[in-house]
Structure 1
Amino acid sequence: MTTTPEEFFKIDEFDLCNQRRAMAALNAERKRIGMPIVVMEDTSGVSMNSFYAWNGGSREPTLGCLVAVAQTLGFDVIMRRRK
């Protein structure tokens, strides 16, 4: 299932187990707030090359990078026990 950038804005919670979908949501948020990738790199510590590789599908983001990007964009990252 493909989610459009507009649909990502309606979702409040993302499962980081699906790293590509989570990164797509973070990228949509970055674009929505108008943050250039170079600013994201400086703020999060994640390289522009990583962003391009994730968006191009040649690499998967690590959990640490997802957390750094999510926090930079104003998301809380929460670990929750399964019910």
Structure 2
Amino acid sequence: MNDYDRSFVNQIQSGKKNHQIVETILVLSHHLELNVIAEGIETQEQLERLQHLGYKFGQGYLFSKPLSHKTAEALLASKSLY
């Protein structure tokens, strides 16, 4: 999986140029058969725009503040993957 700079997501709602960049990154990743992670999702609006474009993976403060590796491991271990 590849991720890209959160500055694109951070300003996705403020201008058409960033929206086009974010869309192009997704199209390119599909052509290269890569999954891409949208970084820096902080608002519900950003999440909805990314989902509308077709992003499947994302991370950011909307979901959780940064966690230490031990806390993240414990969180993942406590969740059933089935």
Rg larger in structure = 2
User: When you count strand as a share of all residues, which structure comes out higher?
Assistant: 2
Name the TM-score, length of structure 1 as normaliser.
Answer: 0.35
Name the TM-score, length of structure 2 as normaliser.
Answer: 0.35
